[in-house]
Chain A
Amino acid sequence: MNTTTPDVRLGDDPTPLVYSIGHRLRLSMRDPAIAALAETFALRDLQVVVIADGTPGTATISFSGKTIAVQHGQTSAPDLTVHVDVASPYTVTSCAPEEVGDDVAFGVSRLLNPVVGDWTEAAREFWELTSGDLGMPGRLIAMCGDGQKVVLGDGPVEYELHGSATNLGRVFAGLDSLFEQIVGGALYMRGTMPQLSVMAGASWKVQFHV
């Protein structure tokens, strides 16, 4: 059995939607069961168009061999077209044509919505990718509503995030935007405007990381 997971590749000059889909697919490939699902799609050379409702964005996911390619725009003859709600969560709201089958649509939904395991582990990965960036606070303190707390870094300048395990995990994993979650009241913070700006950028960096 070939154990290598499919490689996620983006087209030239990716749009934010393409980056975001690429990131989600890459996260999904960590789960062997989901990676196997992608391989079954590749056996069919499946092409899926993703339409991000509420935005102008569209993308095409092409499964072939050991590669999942994500391109901007819509291929002319997709096997499946799905509409997603890009607001949290990234839910498939409808698909066409119906004869492709609910199982495929469900599979695409699973691929686009990787499960976040331990939020503290996601926080550590977030910190690993972003802590060295210009302007980042020296210490990130994430506090969960259940009392769990993670302290990352030991610098003198602190930034605090407060929220549920689910919301913290989704932001740290790059499934939701920190900025949108704070503006929307799903997360809370203690810090300055410049810190919010740089943390928002760090969050987008993770969301677009492939």
Chain B
Amino acid sequence: MSEPLDVDTWLTTHDIGTVRIEGTNLDSALMGKIITAQKFRGAVQTGFGFADLAFGVDLGNIPHWGFAWPSWRGDMPDIFLRPDPATLVEWSPGHAAVIGDYYDRHGSPLPVCPRNLLRKVTNRLAEQGFTAKVAIEIEATVFEESIQEARAMGFKNLTPLGGKAGFAYHLPKDQQWHEYMTAVSSRLDELGIAWEAWNDEAAWGQVELNLAVTDPIQACDNWTRARQVMREVGFQLGRTVTFMAKWCDEYGQASHLNVSLARDGENAFYAPGGPSETMTHFIGGVMDSITAATSLALPWVTSYRRLNDLDGPPTTATWGISNKTTALRAVVGDPKQSRIEYRVPGADSNAYLVLAALLAAGGHGVGEQITPPAAFEGMAYCFPPGAAQRLPNTISKAFNALDNATTLRHLLGNELIDYWVGMRRWEWMRYHSDGGTPESDITDWEINRYFELV
């Protein structure tokens, strides 16, 4: 285990004048402040005050109403972002960035803080004797226009970088496309964020970035920083990037989570010839909660627009071996590669939160030795009604399923689930008041609300 960082020395050594303290809220927005190094030194142990609205305002800048607020919310009291010094990085000369966790005014972890929640779940796994290994895939769409131009155009009729021709893995893209992703990967290298690959993805202007496998907290810290890098590089190069699940009728954007468990340094998901017992029970736990977890993996109205048979994303509550049409793909037979890939999450989801749900459900399955349903054979699309349970395909079906989920409530806490369901119900009402109908094509309301912020 590495020695705790001497923050004061680190700031001095790196000649840091300002520090960006940051953390994601439930909406996966990176929230924070820029503070002086002096101020940072003075409160790094206790944390920095934020209004509770950091977790209480929708993407239209209106507070969520209509549900019971926990004790940390009220008539706008402070909550506190406590930096994790292990995440300190020199973001640019003289300017550091640090990721933190949110606490209430009494010093207790905020139950809705996604990073806190993931740490709690990871610790629970450790008590079971496991460490998790995680790799996150990031999909995004890049446009030729600058963010200023894109805003002026209302984020419509934008020009996908790399053109509209092509398909996944297409290498003969124009120089500007390569320039953007090369700049992103170089910046990741500067910041020490390990990545493995990037490529053209299926839709116009779409790119995929594969982050390297690491522990859960590090994987999600890398995820949130990589997204910030992709945005910042876009600003610098005069491009625009969106992580919206779908911005046009092209294929949507996902954020697949690849997970395995290790025990005593060995991949506990591996067994010769198939899933190990641990992997089988992990799948059993995940399958038990997969319908309820959909709300967390697909947070927005637009998220559900990805779920079309034959488009790539899963549409059913199924798992299968080497089967990318199912919600949970099991990769088996190799000590290094054996893992599960959760294919439901949208690019617009919060990786800390979804990963916490996935690991909690899987760990529960291992602990309770839950047997999964039979692996799905064949293509999990286009079959007759009743052949397999379909995933919730609207925000309302999904939050109702989560609201009624006893296991996930037990694993993630009632406070988080109640708060999340309240936020999603508010989002559903806002859409139906001002946005569109269940049959509407992607609406201006969605574009204006999600394009820049999710």
Which residues of A line the B interface, CB within 8 A? 13, 15-17, 55-58, 72-73, 133-136, 179, 192-194, 196-198, 200-201, 204
Contacts and interface: CB of A to CB of B under 8 A. Distances in A.
B432 A197 contact: no
A201 B66 contact: yes
Interface string B421-444: 010000011001111111110000
B119 interface: no
Contacts of B397: 13
**Main SS class of interface, B:** loop
Contacts, number: 70
Nearest to A179: B65
25 contacts: A13-B394, A13-B396, A13-B438, A15-B432, A15-B438, A16-B432, A55-B433, A55-B434, A58-B437, A72-B438, A73-B438, A73-B439, A135-B68, A135-B69, A179-B66, A192-B74, A192-B75, A193-B69, A194-B74, A196-B65, A197-B67, A197-B69, A198-B68, A200-B65, A204-B66
Interface in B64-87: 64-69, 73-76
A201 B68 contact: yes
Interface residues of B, number: 26
B60 to A, nearest CB: 15
A56 B396 CA distance: 17
A58 B432 CA distance: 10
B418 interface: yes
Nearest to B431: A56
B74 A57 contact: no
Contacts of A133: 68
Contacts of A135: 67-69
Given A13-B394, A16-B429, A55-B432, A197 B66 contact: yes
Contact of B73 (A55, A194, A204): A194
Contacts of B66: 179, 197, 200-201, 204
Interface string B72-112: 01111000000000000000000000000000000000000
A194 B77 CA distance: 12
B67 A201 contact: yes
